Structure 1
């Protein structure tokens, strides 16, 4: 999730005067965006050149908005995605919805799902305004760093129970069989913004969905690490129960995020046989060890239709405590973490998504050059079949199309793909991410 603005457009990669036409007709997809933050822009969705927008919910104010957009514009089967739009025509079935609670807003949820001592008692909070204020102070003091004062706590919304949010999300996912859980994750660097002043609130952009930061300054207050991880893992477990993919945010805490994910698949790791073990299983047989166990497992996953909770041989999906498919959105770690996530023992299928806004935008200086070099190393380290591309923008229409084209062109240059190869490959990756 990027900041709440539309950044200036970067120049499209490629030689001026020799830039190939972008093959929109092949079905370019946006794996992660937030156009419900600017609801007036949704009218442009049918005429956009992108074939699919994967729209994330992040907080209380946009859960219903994503549902409203999905009710009008979602598609329900793989055949619809495989059908290219006619040039210049309006296409209404363009949305894959995702519902989740972003780490920036994780303090607004309290845990009533575990046996531990809850930070908030909703039954007491309903007895009087004074008790409600006391309960709210108790919760926010527990989950925020830096000892927030009474005025700051009073500016925050009444906390919502985790159990009610999970129940609402389950109902939405059951209504939309292709929907994801997202945007969820962990963010070590984020700090909460200062409260709105009356003047700022009156003069804010009225077209933006409430709840976002806007242009407010940031306080010293972080959401405590343990609380973020608890909210994240609860949503990951729900995805595992329903066999849904997830879109995950990770900033300045890649080790913490990896530990949270791996704690859920602990005990479910895949057995990886050495070449010697493979030969012992089939003495005298041809050595197929160059065909890795990961490739074999990938074929098994591709043959599974998780979205209908059936496999090809009509076996029901077996719920797991971890999601079957995980997209690390706007992936900002180095190539060493790519190798860590690609270990063949990991039972979930991991994808890496990239955006111009997060991965490439910055001032033109030595720092930006270093950022570009790191980005190229990461792209080269990513297996071709695990790359997804996104805009991460907060407004639908031409801006998403432009930024999507920019990141496609950049990745194709690094990978040595033609634009046609890049669009076909990433669309295939996206289909496998969504459909299983």
Structure 2
């Protein structure tokens, strides 16, 4: 009865509720619903060539600015939430086969893009040797240098923007040519480039190719000192190894108990000397590095007992774990519950991971926050405050 009663508690939208990962640019008309949403801010991901400019357009119309950041923290019991947008620019592993690496070969750069058929034979498994119709249906490969340059320009244009969605996926198969239903008609409201009702082909992207693209974007995030949102499916071990490679040689020294106590005393003595919190960590003031300052493992589906490896005190990046109803609780699993219990209170985030803004997105966000609060044994108000603080830390580096 207590749990049922708790579910009936009014949801504290006024505190400030943040969606750490969503895709409303997949359904462009839904942008008109954002301004009326109760959600304080949406962290919107780009995934492929077709949606980079759309994410930028959403940011132009509804984007967060540095002047707005203080208002995001303030409770607004009588004021409508403004539904601001925080853009993220990146290339998802589902579309990684469309990129070729032109950084190390002068010959490739001088001669233009590689032969289309040879490229896809090299990066797909099994190699589509005789599947001419499938290869012809794929886009011409795009240069990694051009992709990184475009992303860098977006990050300069939007100084609060993140990099995402990027990552690794062993399970994904590229959509084929045939439709699931011959009568299928493409929904004109959907952004091109997705699955769009097509049957899945037998082809997967080689893991070495996915890793190449992921590392390149992680390095760019380090260069620009931006947080990243990372996708990881059926590749949890190799994902950790790939992230670890970017910060190798930059690990923080692990202090003994005595050293930690001494440092705490020094910090306490100088507590009042600190400057006011700003968004300096997003501006690159800490200097370029080969790894991002903050990493969110979105809709984390890895084993609960591997969470501790991401929390080792030597890791120089702050690691967050976000959860969604769509991925983690459809239906609820013991693994997801155990993972939420294992994540420290200040490193957990909530997301909808939905493709359209509006009521369903808010329903999913409210549902996952209620679930997290139940598992963490938080009140809804305390949970909303904690998740709000965590989102500010992840996105802007503010504690």
2:72 is the alignment partner of 1:81: yes
Task: Pick the aligned partner of 1:320 from 283, 286, 289.
Answer: 289
Pairwise mapping of residues 1-400 of structure 1 onto structure 2 (< 5 A)? 14-15=3-4, 19-77=8-66, 78-85=69-76, 87=78, 89=80, 91=82, 94-115=84-105, 123=111, 135-148=115-128, 149-196=131-178, 203-275=185-257, 278=259, 305-309=280-284, 316-362=285-331, 371=333, 373-400=334-361
Separation in 1, partners of 2:262, 2:44: 42
**Structure 1 residues 198 and 398 mapped into 2: Cα distance closer, same or farther (>3 Å)?**
closer
**Structure 1 residues 117 and 124 mapped into 2: Cα distance closer, same or farther (>3 Å)?**
closer
**Structure 1 residues 288 and 238 mapped into 2: Cα distance closer, same or farther (>3 Å)?**
same
**What whole-Å deviation, never above 9, does each CA across 1:162-214 have from its counterpart, x for those lacking one?**
11111111111111111000000000110111115598597122211111112
After TM superposition, the score normalised by the length of structure 1 is 0.82
- List structure 1 segments (4+ residues) > 3 angstroms apart after TM superposition: 83-90, 115-118, 121-125, 196-202, 287-291
Verify the 8 A CA contact 1:275 1:289 in the aligned structure 2. Answer: no
Equivalent residue number for residue 270 of structure 2: none
Separation in 1, partners of 2:85, 2:180: 36
CA RMSD, aligned part only?
2.6
| 1:113, distance to aligned residue in structure 2 (A) | 1.4
**Structure 1 residues 161 and 18 mapped into 2: Cα distance closer, same or farther (>3 Å)?**
closer
The unaligned stretches of length 5 or more in structure 2 are: 268-273
- Pairs aligned (count): 384
| 1:44, distance to aligned residue in structure 2 (A) | 0.3
Separation in 1, partners of 2:110, 2:383: 51
Separation in 1, partners of 2:56, 2:77: 27
Secondary structure (helix, strand or coil) at the match of 2:87 reads strand
The unaligned stretches of length 5 or more in structure 1 are: 1-12, 126-133, 280-286, 294-298, 310-315, 363-367
Separation in 2, partners of 1:71, 1:24: 25
**Structure 1 residues 415 and 156 mapped into 2: Cα distance closer, same or farther (>3 Å)?**
same
